[in-house]
Structure 1
Amino acid sequence: MSLASALSTAQSIFNNSGTQSGVVSKNIANAQNPDYVRRSAMVVTGGNGAVIGDIARAQNAPLLRQTIESSSIASGQRTLLNGLEEIKNLMGGNDNELSPAKLITAFRNDLDAFSSKANDTGLGIAVISSAQDLVSGLNTAANKLQQIRKDADDQIKQNVSDLNGLLAKLETVNNQVKNATASGADANDALDERDGIVKKISEIVGVTSYTRDNNDLVLYTSDGVTLFEAVARKVTFQPTAAFDASTTGSGVYIDGVALNAGESANTTAKGSIQAFLQIRDTVAPTFQSQLDEVARGLITAFAETGPAGTLTPMTGMFTYKDSSGVQQSAVPAAGTIVPGLASRILVNPVVVPPSGSPDKVRDGGINGAAYIVNTDGGSSYGDLLDKYNENLEGPMAFDSDTEIADAPNLLSFASDSMGWLEELRSTATSSEETKTALLTRTLEAFSSTTGVSLDEELSLLLDIEQSYKAGTKLMATVDEMMQALLDIAS
């Protein structure tokens, strides 16, 4: 080996070692960065010896696609479950003590006691108090349910804003990737950043992608709508200022195409937006309709029809206000939801002490003398109270939009409503555990393939150190030979 060749080899060793140690150091520095993909300095042998040919990125496209998909479905399921948990909390603790079914049961117990001892004014007052608790529970649940819809709407607004921001950032980074790839520069950092942005986007809306020439990324929603191609497509949404039972929220549009809401407890939602749409437009309105039907059932069960039951039915102990706040006396039509009725039902002031009397529940006549049933004025008369009690278990038709319309009576309907909610929540919980487990396994597989192992990097540093030592020994030998030549020449 000539001195020139030896010097060239030593220089190559030092250059390669410097580049390799730089790559390894960067890997170690980013060991905890979930968006960082491990780099490798690829050594190739050519006419000038071993040189670093490229800084390779340990990318794995199939695993990346699976990670993005898993992240999207886990985000959608988690968002739906959180919404269901929030609705469940409206019903009280683990025993659902604030649910319509529990409140009706407590009210009925007091009604039974009053019926058995109808001359006890204290028991009559207890019935009115229980009725007020029942009405208050329905009012509160209905109002808070609409607040949950408003919160979901606000979250959609925030998600859309975040999504537009991420798409704008994606456009900038994608251009950096294309320019670096086309010019032969190192695009790895920009690729890491781009993949990280796509992962964040997938938590908001489900996406699929493919890469064109010069690493140009094209992004679609899971439904096939173009989300990004060269430039970011606009995502639009008009928030709603306030919600009531009759309010329909605005849709989310991607490039002018409406985004579908998720469906079922094991939701089809991919990303949080579709799940928030499902909560706002499907789950909460359905539960609202059930509360409204419970309210209508109470009004119907306690309606006054006179001594012979032939007079025009009028609201009795339970009545309601219309949307403008005016108290009504007409009984709502059978089997048809009255939107927002649960938030407007009230105990008729005519029976509420001190200005009203519970005796009117016992005797009838809330709507005037013609509706008095206890015409003899007996203080122990309990037949009307028994009739009301029986009405709670009597046949009653419910609107099919409640999804539990096959319930035979009001008591069963109220119980089925909680069963409906608990079934949704149970299925959503199980599905969330499954989808989160899938995401965890996918992330582990992706990390083991593309992530940084400190043990491997430290082992590589030892190899680089040995290579560097070999270079220094070669340089020392060349130095000795050069010194020997200089000594001979002198």
Structure 2
Amino acid sequence: MHASSRRQTNCCRKPSTSGAKAPDLGNYAMSLTAALNTALMGLSTIQAQTGVTSGNIANAQNPNYTRKMVQLTTPAVGGDPMAAVVAAIVRAAAPNLLQDYYGATADYSRLSATTDQARQLAEALGIDDTGGGQTPLQSRLTSFEDAVKRLEATPEDTTLKALVVQRGQELAKEVNRLASQRTTLQSQTQDDIRTGLDTLGDATKAIAGLNAKIIGQKAAGMPTGDLEDLRDAEVAKIAGLVGVRTITAENGAMSIYTDAGVQLVGTTAQSFSYDSTTGTIRNTNGDNVTAGFSEGSLRASLDYLDGSAGALTSSDGNVGAMEKFFNQLNSMARNIADVVNAAYGSNLFNYTAGDAAATLAIDGAFTADPNTLDATRMGAVQQAMRNTTLTATQINPAGEPNGLSTANVNIFGLVSGVMAYHARQVSDNEAARDSAENLQANVEQKFRNLTGVNVDDELAQLTVLQNNYAALAQVMNAIREMFDEVISIGR
């Protein structure tokens, strides 16, 4: 009875499972969750890198764009490294080369302006239109001499007297036409200065505004590269006008000064005005900062208009160029009148000096009645025009310095010397400008090589990112399938 009861109890007992451990589904789920989070972080990082790379490719032809780069960091949780995440998005930078580029830009802009100004004077003289022949002034002087020689040969011909007067009037008219260019040339250059200062003011205001945005975004941990690109483009505009030095603070704000130390942008933007009466530039506070504009196209224009004693005695033909030009005209007109009148014995020409411009004219008695012209003096006049040599002091008087180094030539040689002077000025300026342009292009290319976008490299990087994205997507798919398995086991 007892034995039967024991057998019945033993046969109905469930087998023991104490020897096998049940799966810990909770730990599996936690591990899969960590893996999923890591994959998601990786996808987010790749998306950010893809966006930056795509932006680089899209802006490859933008001259004011610098390559953007993603800086990564690898966080750790419980001592275990996680997927790399974006630490910052920065732009490629080469600050020393950028400053060299600004300097090259200032030099090229100054020489480009001096070339245009030299051409302006040469074109006024008609040098570019000669085709190797005479300029209008040379032609008028030669025509006057020819008329004098013809009258000498046939003194009784009254029509030739009228021709001498006519040719003398044409010569004087050409001299006076050139002299009348002063107001036009001066006004054009003064307008160039005002326009340049307006551009400068607009750029400094834009930079001040960009400074504020950059400070705000930097403080918020947001990328500032695109804003910095825009700011650099504005700085480049200023560099062409005045030449610049830049200082960037920790908060991202940029202060800008001219090469000579005049502040353009600090906590606020400076504005500038030009006083054409005194030829000076003043800042917001009314300070005279003309000397602080030592480079760029504005310096070229200031030098061109400079009529000071120092400018007129400068060996640099671009300094005081306009005043030297009109002093050269005065020298030609005065010496033509002096030589002809001395040989004629009285005034055949009247030369009148003036602050604005000198004038030359045939004496009114001869314009009223050409027959009063003394034909017997024409031989002396013609001989004097060819044989009278002018001294350096006569050509370039101390009271009206004109930059000429010509001496011991007749009046034809003086006129030719003036033409050669301005042809040489154009040639020298063009050569200097071309050299400066090449230097600027070389520096810019070096800068672009370091900071610009190489489309092939970016496309290769984009391919790598796409492959990595696809691989992570597969990892996430595998994790999802493993989650499904865990869930089915736990049911």
- TM-score greater than 0.5 by the shorter chain: yes
Contact 2:147 2:163 in 1 (8 A): yes
Partner of 1:49, secondary structure, is coil
Return the offset for 1:487.
3.0
Counterparts of 2:323 and 2:402, CA distance in 1: 9
Which residue, out of 322, 329, 334, partners 1:296?
A: 334
Partner of 1:59, secondary structure, is coil
Contact 1:293 1:338 in 2 (8 A): no
Which residue, out of 346, 350, 366, partners 1:351?
A: 366
Counterparts of 1:274 and 1:42, CA distance in 2: 43
Q: Deviations over 1:391-415 (max 9, x none)?
A: 3342442314022265234332222
Partner of 1:452, secondary structure, is coil
Counterparts of 1:44 and 1:320, CA distance in 2: 83
Which residue, out of 66, 84, 88, partners 1:37?
A: 66
More moved, 102-111 vs 440-449: 102-111
Q: Does 1:403 align with 2:403?
A: yes
Contact 2:242 2:298 in 1 (8 A): yes
Q: Deviations over 1:319-363 (max 9, x none)?
A: 256xxxxxxxxxxxxxxx654444x322233323xx421x333x1
Scaled by the length of structure 1, the TM-score of the pair is 0.82
Return the offset for 1:151.
0.2
Q: Does 1:287 align with 2:325?
A: yes
Contact 1:296 1:338 in 2 (8 A): no
Alignment of 1:353-392 (within 5 A): 355-357=368-370, 359-361=371-373, 363=374, 381-382=375-376, 384-392=377-385
Counterparts of 1:305 and 1:387, CA distance in 2: 6
Contact 2:242 2:297 in 1 (8 A): yes
Contact 2:262 2:289 in 1 (8 A): no
Q: Deviations over 1:437-483 (max 9, x none)?
A: 00111111111111112212211111110011011110111122122
Alignment correspondent of 2:348: 317
Alignment correspondent of 1:464: 465
Q: Does 1:148 align with 2:161?
A: no
What amino acid is the match of 1:394? Answer: T
Scaled by the length of structure 2, the TM-score of the pair is 0.82
Counterparts of 1:277 and 1:72, CA distance in 2: 15
What amino acid is the match of 1:385? Answer: M
Alignment correspondent of 1:194: 231
Partner of 2:251, secondary structure, is helix
Alignment correspondent of 2:85: 51
Alignment correspondent of 1:328: none
Which residue, out of 95, 99, 118, partners 1:84?
A: 118
Counterparts of 1:390 and 1:304, CA distance in 2: 11
Return the offset for 1:96.
6.4
Contact 2:39 2:83 in 1 (8 A): no
More moved, 385-394 vs 78-87: 385-394
Residues 96 and 165 from structure 1, CA distance in 2 versus in 1: closer, same or farther, beyond 3 angstroms?
Answer: farther
Counterparts of 1:99 and 1:222, CA distance in 2: 43
Partner of 2:62, secondary structure, is coil
Alignment correspondent of 1:127: 164
Counterparts of 2:276 and 2:133, CA distance in 1: 32
Partner of 2:361, secondary structure, is strand
Structure 2: tracts of 5 or more residues without a match: 1-27, 77-81, 307-319
Contact 2:261 2:292 in 1 (8 A): no
Q: CA-atom RMSD, angstroms? A: 2.3
Contact 2:211 2:253 in 1 (8 A): yes
What amino acid is the match of 2:89? Answer: I
Alignment of 1:49-198 (within 5 A): 49-92=83-126, 93-94=129-130, 95=132, 97-198=134-235
Structure 1: tracts of 5 or more residues without a match: 241-248, 263-268, 322-336, 364-380
Alignment correspondent of 2:15: none
Between the two proteins, the alignment pairs up a number of residues equal to 431
Counterparts of 2:195 and 2:488, CA distance in 1: 79
Alignment correspondent of 2:271: 234
Return the offset for 1:69.
0.7
Contact 1:154 1:239 in 2 (8 A): no
Bigger CA radius of gyration:
2
Alignment correspondent of 1:482: 483
Return the offset for 1:288.
0.6
Higher helix share: 2
Return the offset for 1:301.
2.3
Partner of 1:220, secondary structure, is strand
What amino acid is the match of 2:108? Answer: A
Percent identical pairs in the alignment equals: 23
